[in-house]
Amino acid sequence: MDYSHQTSLVPCGQDKYISKNELLLHLKTYNLYYEGQNLQLRHREEEDEFIVEGLLNISWGLRRPIRLQMQDDNERIRPPPSSSSWHSGCNLGAQGSILKPLTMPSIQISEVDAPPEGGQTPSPTDSRGLKPLQEDTPQLMRTRSDVGVRRRGNVRTPSDQRRIRRHRFSINGHFYNHKTSVFTPAYGSVTNVRINSTMTTPQVLKLLLNKFKIENSAEEFALYVVHTSGEKQKLKNTDYPLVARILQGPCEQVSKVFLMEKDQVEEVTYDVAQYIKFEMPVLKSFIQKLQEEEDREVRKLVRKYTMLRLMIRQRLEEMAETPATI
């Protein structure tokens, strides 16, 4: 890459700019850190606009479950199964009427759907399009909040097995049932998206949600730069996440970009973050020191104004004793 000196400015936020020369120096450091890895960034110029592009690591920091789409937007909805198959715990009559099952199926809660009996395991190609195009094997871990429903008892018919495969979807190799498509990604797990330096925060959010077919609105989330010191800086809608990552430096042991809920996280300034990791006895000692300093200042002010009041009273008495002259 050519890191020759440049003089033009590159936007890094609303009314905020950085010189191209300085950004190139940060970019050179960034690429040296990730030398030989796919996280290196490239830059180009298009219509006199300086553009950096590549993969951005984003950590999951969600506290509430997310909803995944049951099929792609372009996928045609399949017709309902035949009347002989078991669907949602009931049988369908010839005219579509609901008939009570003869026996209640036994339901067992398990962590994931069991594979069809007979040793056949659905491959990721049976996921009906919900497996995202993996740029570089991003991780989206499942937690115990998403469970599968398994029916025990009778042997499944071929039509039942086809129905189960049709309703099992995969995301990064992790299968989930269409009835339990709500789950929370493991906190701190990392994924990535391919973006460029002209994409704003809302655009990056929409791209990430669309990659994993997440139904939640992008308005529910925000991107935060979280430091190991405890400082949390929310990226504004006018910020450029890739530029922010470059300026923060490449080391994720110092800072990471997190996807979090807007209403669940508050920004933490650097000054406040300095005290977050202290133990309670240490914080109490700080408060005691500040209280002592405040008491000293109060006593100093009381003495000052007491002396001033005495001086004024003495002056008034002297004026009263002096006879008035005409």
Show me where the domains of the chain are located: 7-55+187-262, 272-319
In terms of Cα–Cα distance, which of 158, 72, 69, 79 is closest to 120?
158
- In this predicted structure, the answer to whether residue 276 has a pLDDT above a threshold of 80 is no
What pTM, to 2 d.p., does this model score?
Answer: 0.56
β-pair type (49-60, 66-67): unpaired
Confidence of residue 204 (pLDDT cuts 50, 70, 90): very high
Give the residue, 86 or 260, on which the prediction is more confident.
260
Average pLDDT over residues 81-110: 43
Confidence of residue 315 (pLDDT cuts 50, 70, 90): confident
What's the pLDDT tens digit per position in 51-85?
A: 999 999 999 999 888 888 765 545 444 444 443 33
Max mean pLDDT among 86-100, 212-226, 261-275 falls in 212-226
HEC string of 230-286 equals: CCEEECCCCCCHHHHHHHHCCCCCCEEEEEEEHHHCCCECHHHHHHHCCCHHHHHHH
Number of Cβ within 10 Å of residue 104's Cβ equals 8
How far is it, in rounded angstroms, from Cα 2 to Cα 43?
9
Inter-residue contact 190 to 58 (CB < 8 Å): yes
- In this predicted structure, the answer to whether residue 233 has a pLDDT above a threshold of 60 is yes
Segment holding 11, helix H or strand E: strand 9-13
3-state secondary structure of 204: helix
Q: Which two tokens stand for residue 119?
A: 């040793």
The Cα-based distances of 322 to 275, 317, 326 in angstroms read 62, 9, 13
Max mean pLDDT among 73-82, 200-209, 270-279 falls in 200-209
The Cα-based distances of 298 to 289, 291, 293 in angstroms read 14, 11, 9
Number of Cβ within 10 Å of residue 256's Cβ equals 20
Please say whether the structural domain 7-55+187-262 has been given the CATH code 3.50.50.60. Answer: no
Backbone angles phi and psi of 55, in degrees to 5: -85, 140
In terms of Cα–Cα distance, which of 205, 212, 258, 213 is closest to 231?
258
Average pLDDT over residues 100-122: 47
Segment holding 293, helix H or strand E: helix 280-321
Average pLDDT over residues 215-244: 92
Helices and strands per DSSP (H, E), number in the chain: 6, 16
Q: Which two tokens stand for residue 246?
A: 């470059």
Strand partners, 150: 108
- In this predicted structure, the answer to whether residue 251 has a pLDDT above a threshold of 90 is yes
* DSSP type of residue 126: G
Number of Cβ within 10 Å of residue 173's Cβ equals 11
Confidence of residue 165 (pLDDT cuts 50, 70, 90): low
